[in-house]
Amino acid sequence: MLTPDYLENIPAPMMQLWQQVEEDILKDVARRIGKMGTLTATADWQLWRREQVRLCNREVLKILAKYTGKSTAQLRQIFQEAAAKALEEDDLLYRSAGLDPPDPNTDQALLNLLNAGYQQTAGSWQNLTATTANTVSGQLETALDRAWLQVSSGAFDYQTSIRRAVNDLARNMAGVTYPTGHRDTLEVAVRRAVLTGVNQTAGKLQIARMDEMDWAFVETSAHAGARPSHAKWQGKQYHRGGAVTYRGKHYPDFEKATGYGTGAGLCGWNCRHGFFAIDPDLDPQPAYTEEELAALDAKDIEYQGKRYSKYEISQKQRALERHVRAAKKVWLAEDAAGLDSTQSAVRLRQARQDLAQFVKDTGGRNDSSRTFVSGFSRSQAGRATAQAKQNTLTNAAGATIIRVKRTTLTGTPDSITQVEHAKGGIDRNYYGPDGRQVKQISSNGHGHKKEEALGQHGEHAHDYLYTEDGKLSRPARELTDQERKENADIL
């Protein structure tokens, strides 16, 4: 049997490989969007756009071709290892029962099943990645159109539009389109394909072996956080080919109870459950008692005054790990697009600190492979760290301020940036939860008559107000006492 933990980790090497593909593609897309900013008004926009989409499509095919061999070899290895492991335990039991299971490496029926499982998974993955070039270049086309519309309608300046487009793709770029039209990232799609393909094949091998051994009693594995429809039958014993009562104990029908063989059941889509042969004379009790099964999801970890199950805590950690990965991707994409990536470097630092704190608070373990971004080389990591360190300061209230070269109308949600003017004077820009600027505080009146008259030496604030049709007004006003206190370091 393949244990839930084994199945959880088995797609990891394939996921890392396809994360790399994803990031190579993202960098190409971001670089193209970044070039939009250099277009002159006279350039033929439609022509340029069509050319970029075409070149992107070609580049994606090139990137895919580069990784195909490695991916195929890796998938084959995963299947071979899993097959050996799937039969190990059952074969021990058969031998102890006096049976003689043949060596799986020379058992032609099993080898055929293994090969068919591998071929099917490899084939469906190939079909999925055949949609990648069109999926990606379609998104580039949409992103370029949207950015262009924003610029030409005057809603945003070039820099802001490009940044929005690049950030959006770094967060949401899909890599495959399913026949249903549903889209997913390469990372998510490859995990599902490998997990499902391997577990289905392992199940088929074990069942074939059981048929050879004429064996009928089985038990299912159990894991925390199982979906409710699977939790019902996990960690229990069954009989194949119809329910029986043996030595006073009832064994429900294996397939009927677990849905084995169907997509929604045991060893189906995204399922990490398995099963193993048992001898009802030796093991009349399942490995898990009812109490232990119930305890799998017990809320016995305290975090910030609330109680959580181990599974819930692991899910929270996964979410924080995804934040780190997402922040790294945004940084990479901004860097490739030639944008100022200071704010995303600071955000990355924050995401890392949040994860480290959570791991410390919950007594977990930091798994660097989960936050790893392959396109993120050591030099880039160093650059991002230095960027975050050199460009942040704290205001008089202890909040983090990010030093940037210029004021933009959108920024990292709930952040404050600072622009120092060559002619003197400091502006601090405040961003709301949606990333839109809500306020600016200036240390002087920038020589404007009206603003020089405010405060003691022109220090003042602007509120950023948008009318219903999106027009911005930024009336100047006196600072509040609270604002003076917070910004005492620049006033």
Contacts to Zn ion by CB under 5 A: 230, 271, 273
Report, in Å, the least distance between residue 128 CB and Zn ion. 22
Nearer to Zn ion, 85 or 383 (CB): 85
Nearer to Zn ion, 191 or 230 (CB): 230
CA distance 369 to 16: 8
Which distant-in-sequence residues (6+ apart) come within 8 Å of 157 by Cβ?
151, 408, 409
Nearer to Zn ion, 216 or 267 (CB): 267
CA distance 32 to 29: 5
Report, in Å, the least distance between residue 276 CB and Zn ion. 15
Contact between 479 and 455 under an 8 Å Cβ cutoff? The reply is yes
Report, in Å, the least distance between residue 311 CB and Zn ion. 13
Nearer to Zn ion, 271 or 346 (CB): 271
Nearer to Zn ion, 86 or 426 (CB): 86
Report, in Å, the least distance between residue 18 CB and Zn ion. 23
Q: At what angle do helices 342-362 and 310-336 cross, to 10 degrees?
A: 160
Nearer to Zn ion, 273 or 323 (CB): 273
CA distance 271 to 73: 24
Report, in Å, the least distance between residue 316 CB and Zn ion. 21
Report, in Å, the least distance between residue 257 CB and Zn ion. 13
Nearer to Zn ion, 236 or 323 (CB): 236
Report, in Å, the least distance between residue 286 CB and Zn ion. 16
Nearer to Zn ion, 159 or 309 (CB): 309
Nearer to Zn ion, 8 or 283 (CB): 8
Nearer to Zn ion, 230 or 328 (CB): 230
Report, in Å, the least distance between residue 300 CB and Zn ion. 23
Contact between 271 and 261 under an 8 Å Cβ cutoff? The reply is no
Using the structure block, give the residue that is written with the tokens 């898990």. Answer: 288
Nearer to Zn ion, 79 or 260 (CB): 260
Contact between 19 and 373 under an 8 Å Cβ cutoff? The reply is yes
Contact between 425 and 446 under an 8 Å Cβ cutoff? The reply is yes
Report, in Å, the least distance between residue 63 CB and Zn ion. 34
CA distance 491 to 275: 69
Instruction: For residue 436, list its beta bridge partners.
Output: 410
Using the structure block, give the residue that is written with the tokens 């994606």. Answer: 60
In this structure, what DSSP letter does residue 244 have?
E
CA distance 49 to 144: 7
Report, in Å, the least distance between residue 287 CB and Zn ion. 16
CA distance 349 to 387: 10
Nearer to Zn ion, 258 or 362 (CB): 258
Nearest to 329 by CA among 10, 13, 26, 16: 26
Would you give the end-to-end CA distance of the chain in angstroms? 68
Using the structure block, give the residue that is written with the tokens 């820009």. Answer: 429
Nearest to 239 by CA among 261, 221, 255, 254: 254
CA distance 3 to 274: 7
Burial of 23 (0-12, 13-18, 19+ CB in 10 A): buried
Q: Where are the beta strands (DSSP E) in 103-242?
A: 176-177, 183-184, 217-220, 237-239
CA distances from 280 to 41, 162, 258, 286, 289 (A): 80, 66, 19, 10, 16
Report, in Å, the least distance between residue 2 CB and Zn ion. 12
Report, in Å, the least distance between residue 231 CB and Zn ion. 9
Helix, strand or coil, per DSSP, at residue 491 = coil
